[in-house]
Structure 1
Amino acid sequence: MLRWTSLCLLALSIAPAGAAEPKAPEVPPLPKAVASFGAVACDGHLYVYGGHAGKTHSYDTESVLGTFHRVKLDGGTSWEELPSGPRAQGMNLVAHKGKVYRVGGMQPKNKPGDPADNHSLADCARFDPKSGKWEELPALPAGRSSHDVVVAGDTLVVVGGWQMKGKGEKSVWHTTALLLDLNSKEPKWESVAQPFQRRALTATVVGTKVFVLGGLGADGKPTDVFDVETKKWSTAPALPAEGKKAMAFSPSAATVNGRVIVNTVAGPVYRLTEKGDGWEKVGAAETPRMVARMVPFGPTSVALIGGASPDEGNVAGIEIVKLAEKGTPVAAPAKP
């Protein structure tokens, strides 16, 4: 999931006391309505990669993309096409020291109309905006998709997901998180046991801690938290639940002003309390969506990007949600 920490950020001016708050700049719709893609803010731009542009649960070599674009966050009106890469969905992007990283993803090898043949990728690469080129990095120990990736300090962290092995083969759920030291001259992946097996999750970072939010089977369960410095796991409150909808499936998250922000398929935007002992509602999406992405948008807002709407299908629009200064406390969900 996508964060101010370690990113090259967009600076937005703050109006003087008593002045009308300036209208947040708009971001043009994605080049194509897409879900389950990668997105990150870096260098004053929003970068998006790959994703699924077809019908839900129907994957083929035409509906999964390998395209790569960016747009200026401050007043950009059109998307710039960048060098593409492997077709992939169920992956994400992160940024570190002005470069964009992509890790893993799922790639179908079947043509439209043929039986599904989905494979998780082990690819890892970084894009240098200055050179305009991708650079290959050490591959993952095994293919991984439906996971998330973040950067804590100088460490790239991969959590959750599974390995799809193709037609007729059983998928394997990952039991480890992966760490990569981005400052190392010869970076190597390090495996760390994770206390869960989940996919369709999201993650964000506060300081040295990686908050792993949601995922299949996570409804009502505590949020898992990994400390990159100590390499130990702890827990935070479970995601809120509203109605009968599964709050935990494919949410999106970001960190704004050192606080965890998350959006669920039901529409609400929540913030972890300052003490970290509960959640408060600080906004809502006009178009509820899942398998979307969230990036911080200045000091008081987030951008909800793409995804799949339960009512409308894949979404191209980018929605800016201003976060309430004072949130509304949300009751803890019932234990499963």
Structure 2
Amino acid sequence: MRSRIAFLAVMALAAPSGAAEPAKAPGVPSLPKAVASFGAAACDGYLYVYGGHAGKTHSYDTESVLGTFHRVKLDGGTTWEELPGGPRAQGLNLVAHGGKVYRVGGMQPKNKPGDPSDNHSLADCARFDPKSGKWEDLPALPAGRSSHDVAVAGDKLVVVGGWQMKGKGEKSVWHTTALILDLTAKELKWESVAQPFQRRALTATAVGAKVFVLGGLGADGKPTDVFDAETKTWSTAPALPAEGKKAMAFSPSAATVNGRVIVNTVAGPVYRLTEKGDSWEKVGAAETPRMVARMVPFGPTSVALIGGASPDEGNVAAIEIVKLAEKGTPVAAPAKP
């Protein structure tokens, strides 16, 4: 008996290390469908995703643009729950406030697959109450808007950038105003404020009352625009870091973690604005570079990169968790354009 016990003990010590692997860090299951240019928000421990483009790049129709709505628990969730959807839309975003999820604008194609493009920007706005499981219509935007972004600054929704697509044969109009919706007002209505740029394919995130507007077409090498939702004034922060000759500013993703602005560009790196707000530092990198993706905080020291389009792989379903370095690596400012 003793020899048998000794034999088993030796075999246990000699067993391959893979026989008892340590538990892997928790993640988030892949999206129900590979999608880009969609809406995403974290709300009360859940990740919500809405709509987006599930077809080939620059090919939009009533089948490739989605109106589906799902959620999954961020901490240990394994299955996506399908929720009541809405209008098919891409080029929108979701934000969360007071336990509810808000949806603003987006682009909706009217053409069937194979027909000429007929894309229209939506003025629709709505909020979803997880307790009732229902959408509630909100005041429409003054005009259709897509390829914009939305951030929550205090009790205000702030919409920045974007354009209005008017359909087949019509010229799109670039927006020159930001919009504010005060959620504490007795009567909800949108207020327009002049913005010092005309850009789309940008992203935004808020720190307190300040909304940082990051990237977008035409933003390479230019300072980051910052909107103060309390004073309704604009200022600037450092331009996004350069990767090669450009800052790769087209459709980055951003979030706020521990009061700091975090951004990821299609080049792959994840950057953080310094505490002084005078420069950027590298704090991580994506294994799968992606654009028109979304980012949400994942605990106090990580972010989740969601979906998007990879330059090499096309639309991505995987959700990647990136742990942020405690001490970042300083990054030189890009050359002025």
TM value normalised by structure 1: 0.93
Deviations 1:68-120 (A, max 9, x none): 00001111101000001000000000001000000000000000000000000
2:330 partner SS:
strand
Distance in 2 separating the partners of 1:110 and 1:151: 33
Distance 1:99 1:8, change over 3 A: farther
Distance 1:10 1:265, change over 3 A: farther
Distance 1:225 1:322, change over 3 A: same
Distance in 1 separating the partners of 2:6 and 2:168: 39
Distance 1:19 1:216, change over 3 A: farther
Distance in 2 separating the partners of 1:9 and 1:161: 66
Alpha-carbon shift at residue 183 of structure 1 (Å): 1.4
Q: Contact 1:8/1:98 (CA < 8 Å) preserved in 2?
A: no
Correspondence for 1:165: 166
Distance 1:75 1:100, change over 3 A: same
Deviations 1:283-331 (A, max 9, x none): 0000000000000000000000000000000000000000000000000
Distance 1:163 1:315, change over 3 A: same
Alpha-carbon shift at residue 12 of structure 1 (Å): 34
Distance in 2 separating the partners of 1:49 and 1:5: 59
When Rg is computed on C-alpha atoms for both structures, the one with the higher figure is 2
Distance 1:185 1:109, change over 3 A: same
Deviations 1:231-289 (A, max 9, x none): 10000000001114551100000000100000000000000011000000000000000
Q: Contact 2:221/2:247 (CA < 8 Å) preserved in 1?
A: no
Deviations 1:172-219 (A, max 9, x none): 000000000111221010000000000000000011100000000000
Alpha-carbon shift at residue 19 of structure 1 (Å): 23
Alpha-carbon shift at residue 43 of structure 1 (Å): 1.5
Alpha-carbon shift at residue 150 of structure 1 (Å): 0.7
Deviations 1:25-44 (A, max 9, x none): 11000000000000000021
Q: Contact 2:241/2:247 (CA < 8 Å) preserved in 1?
A: no
Correspondence for 2:18: 18
1:7 partner SS:
helix
Q: Which has the higher contact order (CA 8 A, sep 6+)?
A: 1
Distance in 2 separating the partners of 1:260 and 1:234: 16
TM value normalised by structure 2: 0.93
In the alignment, does 2:329 pair up with 1:323?
Answer: no
Distance 1:331 1:282, change over 3 A: same
Correspondence for 1:294: 295
2:13 partner SS:
coil
Alpha-carbon shift at residue 7 of structure 1 (Å): 53
Distance in 1 separating the partners of 2:237 and 2:95: 23
Distance 1:252 1:125, change over 3 A: same
Alpha-carbon shift at residue 24 of structure 1 (Å): 3.5
Distance in 2 separating the partners of 1:97 and 1:11: 53
- After the TM superposition, which of the residue ranges 184-193 and 303-312 deviates more from structure 2? 184-193
Distance 1:10 1:18, change over 3 A: closer
Structure 2 residues without counterparts, runs of 5 or longer: none
Over 6 Å off, 4+ runs: 3-13, 15-22
1:216 partner SS:
coil
Alpha-carbon shift at residue 18 of structure 1 (Å): 24
Distance in 2 separating the partners of 1:209 and 1:9: 62
How many residue pairs were aligned?
A: 333
Matches within 5 A, 1:1-336: 24-244=25-245, 246-336=247-337
Alpha-carbon shift at residue 51 of structure 1 (Å): 0.1
Q: Contact 1:46/1:72 (CA < 8 Å) preserved in 2?
A: yes
Distance in 1 separating the partners of 2:66 and 2:12: 31
Distance 1:25 1:274, change over 3 A: same
